[in-house]
Structure 1
Amino acid sequence: MLLSRIQCLFLLIVVLVGCNQPDQSTASLSPKEDADFSTAMDLLNAQPDSAFYYFNEVATQSTDSLEIASALNYMAIIQHNAGDYFGSIETLLAALGYLYEETEDKRPYYQAVYNLLGSNNLTLGNYVDAILYYQQTIELTTDPNFKNIARNNLAVAYQKQSDYAKAIELLTAIQKDTASNPVNRARVQSNLARTRWLQNNAYNPLPDFWAALRIRSREKDQWGLNASYSHLADYYSATRPDSALFYASRMYAIAKKLNSADDQLQALQKLIPLAAPDQAKSYAATFMRLSDSLQTARNTARNQYALIRYEAAKSKAENLELLNANAEKELLLFRQQLIGGVLVLGLLGLMVFGINRQRKKKEQLKWQYEQSLRENQLKTSQKVHDVVANGLYRIMTTIEYKEELDKNELLDNIEELYEKSRDISYEGQESHPVSDYQQSINELLKGFASETTKVVIVGNESGCWETMHPTAKNNLHQVLQELMVNMRKHSQASLVVVKFERGPDGLHIIYTDNGIGMPASPHFGNGLKNTENRIFQLNGRISFGQHQPTGLTIEIHLPLTPAYDK
Structure 2
Amino acid sequence: MIKNLHPLFQKKIILFCLLIISLILAILFFIQFSGTEQQQKKYLKVDRTIKIKKTLEKAHTFFNDGKFDSAYFYFNKTQLLCEPKEDYPDAYVESLNYIVEILQRYGNFYEAETTLIKAFPYLEKTSSKKYAINAYTFMAYNYSYTYNNEKALYYHRKALKTAISTFRKARILSEIAFVYVQQEKYQEAKDILEPISKCKIADKITPSNTNIVRSAILYNLALSYIGLGNHKEQALKCLDESLELTIPYNNDFELIANYFGYYKYYSKYYNPELKKFYAEKSYYAAKRAKSVGNEIDRLGELIEMDKPENSKKLWKIFTRKNDSLSLSRKMAKNQFADLIYASQKDKNENFELKNQKAEKELQLQRQKNRSYISYVVISLSLFIILFLIFYITTKGKREKNDIILKSEMRISQKLHSELNSNIYQTLLFVQNNNVENKEDKEKLLNNLNNIYSKTRNISRENSKVPIDDRYLSVLKEMISEYKTQDVNIILNGLDSISWNKVDKNKKIILYRILQELLFNMKKSNSSSLVSIVAKEIDKNLIIYYTDNSSEITSENNILEKRLQNVENRIKTIKGTLNFDTNLQRGFKINFKFPI
Q: In which range does the TM-score fall when normalised by the shorter chain?
A: 0.3 to 0.5
Tell me the TM-score normalised to structure 1 length: 0.48
Which of the two has greater helix per residue? 2
Largest Rg, 1 or 2: 2
